[in-house]
């Protein structure tokens, strides 16, 4: 996760660098800019490297364009970036503009660095949750589209319907009875059909699909193991680790390290 601090006063930026407890936050990179123009340049450089500024901590008053104008630019060019205003002004008009620009927080200077650390930690959690939801949606769409493409020429029958449902709902709780009810057949009939088609039970088929998707997701270093566990339908981290190790012969962490 990356943070960009924008303030035209060098000592204000340095105070943040010296005062915030970075060990607790564990940002991958903390960048700085002294003006609107420098900040835009940093965003563009990061984008060119296929990197993302996750959080912007920005002063309002700067010598060229204001911090509010920068945040408006960010909203159009990097909408996934969460913005926090750091200002010595408490005017209602500034606060109203911050709300309009969907800023996550508005902090008045001088700020206690322990408080700023807490705000940044809370913002990181918000960013992680949004990334998790976005990743789940994106991977789900890609995964479903790939499966749909490969099956487009096949005749749709009961098993096909159930398979399609499974692949679209891997992050949810799935049971043989639930799937059979959805396909208007008995659980025994569905089990026999699956064994005939795939030479395995419905539960084994679901597990294989979840493990395959988990293996793909763990290649993305931006995703935590907990996020992957949730994405593939394991609410329990320990159970996910246990099943993953049985399937791959190694823990999720070992697997991530092996595919760096």
Nearest to 67 by CA among 111, 29, 107: 107
**pTM of this structure:** 0.52
How far is residue 257's CA from residue 63's CA, in Å, rounded to a whole number?
46
Nearest to 3 by CA among 71, 81, 85, 108: 81
How far is residue 190's CA from residue 65's CA, in Å, rounded to a whole number?
65
**% of the chain surpassing 70 pLDDT:** 88
Tell me the per-residue pLDDT of 235-249, one tens digit each, with 9 for 90 and over. Answer: 788 999 999 999 999
Segments in the chain below pLDDT 70: 89-101, 140-141, 143-156, 260
Range(s) within the chain of domains with CATH label 3.40.50.2300: 2-128
What is the pLDDT at residue 82?
Answer: 92
What is the pLDDT at residue 14?
Answer: 93
What is the pLDDT at residue 257?
Answer: 87
Q: Could you tell me which CATH number the domain at 2-128 has?
A: 3.40.50.2300
Nearest to 5 by CA among 224, 80, 22: 22
What is the pLDDT at residue 147?
Answer: 61
What is the pLDDT at residue 154?
Answer: 40
What is the pLDDT at residue 155?
Answer: 37
Range(s) within the chain of domains with CATH label 1.10.10.60: 154-258
At the fourth CATH level, the homologous superfamily of domain 154-258 is Homeodomain-like (1.10.10.60)
How far is residue 93's CA from residue 220's CA, in Å, rounded to a whole number?
42
């Amino acid at each position: 996760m990356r943070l960009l601090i924008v303030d035209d006063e060098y000592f204000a930026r340095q105070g943040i660098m010296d005062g915030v407890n970075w060990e607790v936050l564990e940002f991958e990179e903390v960048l700085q800019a002294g003006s609107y123009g420098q900040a835009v340049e940093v965003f563009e450089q990061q984008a060119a490297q296929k990197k993302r500024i996750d959080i912007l901590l920005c002063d309002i008053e700067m010598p060229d364009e204001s911090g509010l104008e920068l945040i408006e630019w960010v909203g159009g060019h990097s909408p996934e970036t969460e913005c926090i205003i750091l200002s010595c002004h408490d005017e209602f008009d500034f606060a109203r503009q911050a709300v309009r620009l969907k800023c996550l927080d508005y902090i008045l200077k001088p700020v206690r660095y322990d408080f700023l650390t807490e705000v940044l930690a809370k913002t990181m959690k918000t960013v992680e949750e949004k990334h998790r939801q976005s990743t789940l949606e994106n991977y789900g769409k890609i995964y479903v589209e790939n499966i749909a493409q490969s099956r487009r020429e096949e005749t749709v029958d009961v098993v096909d319907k159930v398979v399609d449902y499974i692949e679209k709902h891997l992050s949810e709780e799935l049971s043989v009875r639930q799937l059979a009810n959805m396909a208007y057949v008995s659980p025994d009939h569905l089990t026999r059909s699956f064994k005939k088609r795939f030479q395995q039970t419905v539960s084994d088929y679901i597990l294989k699909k979840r493990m395959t998707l988990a293996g793909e997701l763990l290649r993305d270093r931006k995703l935590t193991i907990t996020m992957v566990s949730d994405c593939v339908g394991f609410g329990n981290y320990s159970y996910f680790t246990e099943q993953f190790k049985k399937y791959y012969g190694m823990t999720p962490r070992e697997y991530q390290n092996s595919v760096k």
